[in-house]
Amino acid sequence: MTEIYETQPERTDLPLVVMPAILDSMVEPLKAQLPVLKDVARVRLYLDFTEDADLIVERTAQADVMINGGPHLSDDLLHRLSGGVRGGEGGKVGCIVFSGTGVASYINLALARELGVRICNAVHYGDNAVAEHTFALLLELVRHVGELSSGVKAGVWANPLGDGLQLAGRRLGIIGLGGIGSTVARIARAFGMEVAAWRTSQTPAERFEESGATPVDDLNELIASSDVVSVHMPLIDGATRGLITADNLAHLKPGTLFINTARAEVIEPGALVARLQKGDIPAALDVYDHEPLPADDPLRSIPGIVLTPHVGWRTDGAFRELTRQMVACIAAYFAGEDLNVVVSER
């Protein structure tokens, strides 16, 4: 039987917040934040993880607010959660708080707006975490520490992978100079790298000065002139989905190191796989079009690339800040205030 953690269960006069599925790493940080909701709302956490739609509906049947800890919410499920019914019994969820930033990958925002469901997310909670993971991936590409460690443990005292590459003096091209991209830029400069970033109309001019990145107006020029290309563009429907095209990737010169810790969907479908299959671009990826990565995905069989299971954001510090923002969003909702609102119910 699934373990349940509840606060103020006797306060049936208070609205109910339910988290129907949770990652183990989020449990303790979230519990630590819940005193903020004392006398505001009672909270019920189901201490397991599920993507079963019927079970999610059952667990949130009486909830006013749902915390979405990762399951993808289909359109049918969103209807059922909000009381729009379609496909089964409906609930009464008026606000969904997403445990992350890229909510567009998990919830149909246009449908949520149509159904009158507020959607909140968390922002900048993982800037340091993802930036640090970006460099973990980059360092694996240039020094192969993981592979060499496995070799030594297996009795191989040699370097079959060849000499490493030095980051100092190399040029890093950043696509997306937001909170994470700016943090990556500062770390890169500490390594002695030359840093440039794509300048878009959404990027404040002062951000380039603050991060030490040289602005480049043409994306193809940025890609072609860089030794390392790192993607940090958020996924925004109608703006960044498929923004990086096959033509852009064609400007990667052989040997360029390519990293994506942002969202796979910001790249034109199929374009990255096609470019990597040529075999001349070492790459490291933490995000994919389909997650978990299917067993037959061609990325699994391309030599020279490093794959991690979308864990760039998962650190102790990121979980603390993430859960703080989640609870603050809930408190704001019940107070009639707006915080991190991606879709308004009004």
Active site residue 263: yes
Q: How far apart are CA 198 and CA 172, in angstroms?
A: 11
Catalytic residue among 42, 59, 251, 263: 263
Active site residue 3: no
Catalytic residue among 310, 314, 320, 324: 310
Active site residue 291: yes
Which residues, other chains included, contact 37 with Cβ-Cβ below 8 Å and sequence gap of 6+?
7, 17, 43, 327, 330, 331
User: What ranges make up the beta strands (E) of the chain?
Assistant: 4-7, 16-19, 42-46, 65-68, 95-98, 118-120, 171-175, 194-198, 214-216, 228-231, 257-260, 283-285, 305-307, 341-343
Provide the 8-state DSSP code for 168.
Answer: T
Q: How far apart are CA 131 and CA 129, in angstroms?
A: 6
Q: Which residues pair with 228 in a beta bridge?
A: 172, 257
Residue 98 is inside which H or E element, if any? strand 95-98
Catalytic residue among 28, 209, 291, 337: 291
Contact, 139 vs 341, CB < 8 A? no
Reading the block at residue 107, the tokens are: 């919830």
Catalytic residue positions, numbered:
263, 291, 310
